[in-house]
């Protein structure tokens, strides 16, 4: 086949790809731009730490009689003290990455998470009567993998003006998601189409990643073909079109030509960045740090047993207790835990402090036998 014929065929296919794939992909672009504007004002529903803390039950300090659990004699990765349906509990994340919940009060047992439990917790948290409760594995607002350890979930519909739905974890017994009627409506126009997030697709993370990656391919092809055509049809040098024009087009086609040449690079970069965001072929996956090294770094020494007697709040009866300490009889260690304060976005982590570090700790005017000993030994 002569070169000239090959060039004509290549150009013909270039125009066909840009025309028909461009028509289909421009619908995606319009959807992405429009849904992105919605997301600027209405993000995907989530239960913020501040909202969780503001609605949390006040800790019954008189009932806290069990010391915090240790993981093989060492500090766990994370430790939290909170109320669970009227019972204080310790929640800890062990070094096996598993979460464990144990009563913080002697002789108390944790109620099973059933429909009646979900009604009690949801009505207390939402401060409204529960109209309906149902057991689900997932829905549009709990489809992400972050909810996997909480499944199955209890979905409670409240009798309030906002049409609130609360989701109760079957593993922790706590509220893990909250949506209202306005959020759900706008997210069907925002995050769901923007992220290609319908439940039927997003519940299979591998399939969803493949769809996102392969949808960006034809869109990139249409954009690249358009830039190539735009360059071929432009005359920037001395040999220009009639009247010294650099483009043969007029009207809407002129705008399409000029805007495509100027914005085509930005469009391809936008598509490419979205493609990279799902980590294609796991190109950016890094090796996990050695678990033994992380554990040794975070909790090298074996902790002595913590007696329950020194556990005392800063401000009795208050839900957002700023600080309390658990101090052992040995003079070389003290645990300082920053608890649920709505001024902070997240609870501070449990730390192990040595004697020199203890000297610089702010006491916040707290007084307890534990605090007295920690100061006298420091």
Q: What is the full DSSP assignment across 174-193?
A: SEEEEE-HHHHHHHHHTHHH
Query: Measured between alpha carbons, how far is 189 from 356 in angstroms, rounded to an integer?
Result: 55
Element (H, E) at 291: helix 291-298
Give every CB contact of residue 10 below 8 A, 6+ residues apart in sequence: none
DSSP state at residue 19: I
* Contact between 226 and 264 (Cβ < 8 Å): yes
Residue carrying structure tokens 């009207």: 251
Q: Are 175 and 128 in contact (CB under 8 A)?
A: no
Which residues in 15-53 are b (16+ Cβ under 10 Å) and which e?
eebbeebbeebeebbeebeebeebbeebebbebeeeebb
Mean local confidence (pLDDT), 319-333: 40
pLDDT of residue 5: 77
Is a pLDDT exceeding 50 seen at residue 268? yes
Rounded to 5 degrees, what are φ and ψ at 326?
-115, 110
Selected residue with higher pLDDT from 78 and 180: 180
User: Residue 361 — pLDDT band, cuts 50, 70, 90?
Assistant: very low
Rounded-to-integer distance, Cα 66 and Cα 87, Å: 12
Give the per-residue pLDDT at 220: 84
Q: What is the pLDDT of residue 354?
A: 41
DSSP alpha helix (H) spans, 170-243: 181-189, 191-194, 199-202, 205-232
How far apart are the C-alpha atoms of 229 and 235, rounded to whole Å? 12
Q: Which pLDDT score, from 0 to 100, does residue 347 have? A: 41
- Identify each DSSP E strand in 76-164 by its residue range: 78-84, 87-93, 99-103, 130-136, 153-158
Distance from CA of residue 237 to its chain's centroid? Answer: 53
Helix (H, G, I), strand (E, B) or coil at 327: strand
Q: Is the confidence at residue 298, as pLDDT, over 50?
A: yes
299 pLDDT tier (thresholds 50, 70, 90): low
In this prediction, residue 39 has a pLDDT band, given cuts at 50, 70 and 90, of very high
Give the integer Cα–Cα distance in Å for 166 and 136.
Answer: 12
DSSP SS3 for 336: strand
Given a contact cutoff of 8 angstroms between Cβ atoms, the answer to whether 127 and 138 are in contact is no
| Residues 285, 288: Cα–Cα separation, whole Å | 9
Residue 132 vs residue 297, higher pLDDT: 132
pLDDT value, residue 307: 55
Taking alpha carbons only, the member of 146, 148, 151 closest to residue 136 is 151
> Structure pTM?
0.75
pLDDT tens-digit profile of 182-224? 999 999 999 999 999 999 999 998 899 889 888 888 888 888 8
Lowest mean pLDDT among 39-43, 140-144, 363-367: 363-367
pLDDT in tens, 81-98: 889 998 999 988 887 778
Contacts 24+ apart (CB under 8 A), 185-190: 186/38, 186/41, 186/42, 187/42, 187/44, 187/45, 187/141, 189/34, 189/35, 189/38, 190/35, 190/36, 190/38, 190/39, 190/42, 190/44
Phi, psi of 90 (to 5 degrees): -100, 130
Dihedrals φ, ψ of 140, to 5°? -60, -25
């Amino acid at each position: 086949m002569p070169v000239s014929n090959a060039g004509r065929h290549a150009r013909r296919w270039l125009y066909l790809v840009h025309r028909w794939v461009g028509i289909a992909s421009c619908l995606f672009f319009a959807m992405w731009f429009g849904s992105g504007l919605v997301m600027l004002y209405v993000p995907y529903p989530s239960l913020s730490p501040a909202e969780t803390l503001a609605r949390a039950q006040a800790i019954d300090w008189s009932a806290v009689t069990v010391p915090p659990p240790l993981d093989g004699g060492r500090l766990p990765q994370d430790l939290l003290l909170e109320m669970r349906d009227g019972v204080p509990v310790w929640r800890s994340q062990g070094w096996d990455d598993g979460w464990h919940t144990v009563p913080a009060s002697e002789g108390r047992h944790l109620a099973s998470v059933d429909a009646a439990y979900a009604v009690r917790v949801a009505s207390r948290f939402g401060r409204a009567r529960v109209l309906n409760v149902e057991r689900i594995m997932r829905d549009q607002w709990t489809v992400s993998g972050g909810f996997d350890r909480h499944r199955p979930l209890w979905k409670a519909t409240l009798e309030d003006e906002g049409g609130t739905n609360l989701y109760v974890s079957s593993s922790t017994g706590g509220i893990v998601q909250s949506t209202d009627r306005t959020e759900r409506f706008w997210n069907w126009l925002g995050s769901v189409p923007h992220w290609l997030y319908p439940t039927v697709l997003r519940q299979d993370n591998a399939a969803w990643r493949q769809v996102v990656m392969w949808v960006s391919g034809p869109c990139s092809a249409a954009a690249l073909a358009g830039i190539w055509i735009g360059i071929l049809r432009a005359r920037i040098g001395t040999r220009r079109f009639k009247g010294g024009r650099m483009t043969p087009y007029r009207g809407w086609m002129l705008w399409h030509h000029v805007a495509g040449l100027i914005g085509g690079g930005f469009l391809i970069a936008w598509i490419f960045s979205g493609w990279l965001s799902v980590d294609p072929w796991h190109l950016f996956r890094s090796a996990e740090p050695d678990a033994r090294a992380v554990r040794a770094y975070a909790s090298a020494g074996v902790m002595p047993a913590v007696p329950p007697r020194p556990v005392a709040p800063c401000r009795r009866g208050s839900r957002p207790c700023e600080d309390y300490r658990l101090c052992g009889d040995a003079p070389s260690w003290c645990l300082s835990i920053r608890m649920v304060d709505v001024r902070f976005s997240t609870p501070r982590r449990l730390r192990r402090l040595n004697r020199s570090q203890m000297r610089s700790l702010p006491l916040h005017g707290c007084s307890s036998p534990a605090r007295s000993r920690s100061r006298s030994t420091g």
